[in-house]
């Protein structure tokens, strides 16, 4: 592995950890040339997984794009980086299972999968993601989606 600091190819592995239910390995490395420590990740790369867009175009599944959308939805919410990583891993795994037959998944199915997983964790993050994914254009669309989630108890206009 090439050292990101000095470019040397000679390094040693200091520590290895399995991540994502055995789907990835995180390795802490130290450059034998300059002593710089860095992290590398290994994951299994299967046949190219494609996302079918609404207009019929196909593009390669981009884990980084999925992770960015989930992070943005969960921004300033009480979730650690590790929890977000696990959530993205789970979504990616479920998408691969859904599209196993022909190595592709419809973009709307992937979006619905994200909404389902985020909705089970955090309602604010769900609304954030839904507003972008479903292209909300006015307040009524937000309110309609909030009502689908169910109004919280005690939010009635009637006096007890």
Residue 40's domain comprises 1-44
Sheet strand arrangement including 24-31: 11-19, 24-31, 37-43
> Is there a single domain that holds both residue 63 and residue 131?
yes
Tell me if 6 is assigned to some domain.
yes
> Is there a single domain that holds both residue 111 and residue 37?
no
> Is there a single domain that holds both residue 52 and residue 101?
yes
Q: Are 132 and 70 in contact (CB under 8 A)?
A: no
pTM over 0.85, yes/no: no
Domain count across the chain: 2
Return per-residue pLDDT of the chain as tens, 160 residues: 999 999 999 999 999 998 767 778 999 999 999 999 999 988 876 667 899 999 999 999 999 999 999 999 999 999 998 899 889 989 988 998 888 888 899 999 999 999 999 998 999 999 999 999 888 898 999 899 888 887 554 444 444 4
- C-alpha count within 13 angstroms, C-beta hemisphere, residue 97: 7
Phi, psi of 114 (to 5 degrees): -65, -45
């Amino acid at each position: 592995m090439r050292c990101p600091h000095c470019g040397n190819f000679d390094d040693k592995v200091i520590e290895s950890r399995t991540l994502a239910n055995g789907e990835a390995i995180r390795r802490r490395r130290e450059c034998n040339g300059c002593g710089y420590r860095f992290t590398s990740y290994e994951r299994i790369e299967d046949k190219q997984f494609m996302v079918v867009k609404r207009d019929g175009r196909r593009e390669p599944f981009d884990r980084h794009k999925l992770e960015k959308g989930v992070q943005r939805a969960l921004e300033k919410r009480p979730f650690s980086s590790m929890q977000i990583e696990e959530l993205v891993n789970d979504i990616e795994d479920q998408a691969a299972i859904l599209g196993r037959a022909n190595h592709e998944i419809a973009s709307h199915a992937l979006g619905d999968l994200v909404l389902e997983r985020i909705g089970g964790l955090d309602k604010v993050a769900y609304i954030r993601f839904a507003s972008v994914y479903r292209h909300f254009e006015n307040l009524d669309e937000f309110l309609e989606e909030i009502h689908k989630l169910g109004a919280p108890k005690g939010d009635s206009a009637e006096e007890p």
